[in-house]
Amino acid sequence: VEELCSSVMQLMKHFQQSGDWAAVDNAVQLMEEVIRLTPDGHTEKARWLNNLGNAFKSRFEHLGELRDIENAILV
């Protein structure tokens, strides 16, 4: 799970530098997997949920799809 989070952060950095929307899309998919694999009560789960919300927000800002901002709010 830690390795997936590292990959997510690299993808988000790449997205911020390049604007490559596929990178943020991949980051969202990986973070959803991290959340799915992380048990409730895990010390890092809140931080990872925050990262997922930020990835949804970034994707929304780039693509403008309401589904992403709705998901960011729900996370």
Q: Tell me the CATH number at 45.
A: 1.25.40
Q: What is the pLDDT of residue 17?
A: 92
The model's pTM is: 0.81
Q: What is the pLDDT of residue 5?
A: 85
Q: Which of 28, 37, 38, 41 is nearest to 72 (CA)?
A: 28
The continuous run of DSSP H or E covering 68 comes out as helix 66-74
Which residues form the domain of 42?
1-74
Q: What is the pLDDT of residue 29?
A: 92
Domain total in the chain: 1
Q: What is the pLDDT of residue 41?
A: 94
- Mean pLDDT in runs of 10 for the chain (75 residues)? 87 89 89 92 92 88 90 87
